[in-house]
Structure 1
Amino acid sequence: MFALRNLLTKSLRVNNSNSQQLIGKRFYASENNAVNADDLLTFSFMVPHQTIYKDKKVQLITLPGAKGVFGVAKNHIAKISELKPGVIQINHQNGDAEKYFISGGFAFINPDSSCYINAVEAFPVDQLDATEVKNGLAKYTQLYNETTDPQPKAVAQIGLETYQQMAYALGVTL
């Protein structure tokens, strides 16, 4: 690991006659509230069977990262993030917000102010059925509590966490 880090660090530096300078820069989203075409993120959102958005200009997207919910706007730092089950909120240029529930996936945030979301499944939140979510939550809660074998318990935990996030997205309580 140290050798790889050392190699990468060396590849980012340029020797000057007196000092070394880093080539790469970090950029962060601005807090400017004025919205124009130059302040927008280019956003693409795909699932295996469909492209939901391709190169759409948006103000902000909010993502359910594996380490917590985070927002992405223009000039966000480049990163790749695993996404857990949860809600993606898309804030469009006109101020409208749109929400999709995803079962998981990856976000690729690029230095050119573009973001690509690849999800396993995605549905508009308003298409989720609260009754089915309650039933699924009850089913996977029971499976999780009754199962002791590690593999079925892991499957039950994944189902439970997914249905918990769907319930949260819909405001459903048991």
Structure 2
Amino acid sequence: MPTKLEIVSPEKLLLSRPVDMVVIPASEGDMGVLEGHSPMIVMLRGGTIDLYDGDKVTEQLFVDGGFAEITQERCTVLANKAIPLAEVNKAEATRLLTEAEAAYEAADKRDIAAEDSALDAIQSARAMVEAAG
């Protein structure tokens, strides 16, 4: 039986369809979700979401981080940005990485939240550069 996958941004529902499996870029490593998965909420890092029909990847999307709520019937991804992998532009990703590295250098290292946010932006931009490669 398929799992229902929903990908939501702050503005709208981006995707809603059944998949045999979805692999998400969880903060602790890539995570496969099938129907009947144990319920959980996980943080996502920047990376690629792979949608499977049978044993084949049928679609890939890049997300810049966020959260996923997993139940036995569905996987809901909450991300600020989710774009088809084919639309990821290497020049744009490289520009974002340069900006993120500059923001990290300028961040007040005594402000742990600001430093963590800057490091997350660097990780997401690096993942985007890699996905565009």
The 3 A distance-change label for structure 1 pair 114 and 158 is closer
Aligned-pair CA distance for 1:131: 0.9
Q: Which residue of 2 aligns with 1:134?
A: 94
Greater relative contact order (Cα 8 A, min sep 6): structure 1 or 2? 2
User: Which residues of structure 1 form unaligned runs of 5+?
Assistant: 1-38
Q: Which residue of 2 aligns with 1:49?
A: 11
Cα distance in 1 for residues equivalent to 2:24 and 2:99: 27
Aligned-pair CA distance for 1:148: 6.2
User: Which residues of structure 2 form unaligned runs of 5+?
Assistant: none
The 3 A distance-change label for structure 1 pair 94 and 69 is closer
CA-based RMSD? 2.2
Contact 1:143 1:153 in 2 (8 A): no
Which has the larger share of strand? Answer: 2
Number of residues paired by the alignment? 130
What's the TM-score, normalizing by structure 1?
A: 0.65
Match of 2:85 among 121, 125, 132: 125
The 3 A distance-change label for structure 1 pair 93 and 50 is farther
- Identical-pair percentage: 24
Which of structure 1's runs of 4+ aligned residues deviate more than 3 A? Answer: 92-96, 151-156
Q: Which residue of 1 aligns with 2:40?
A: 79
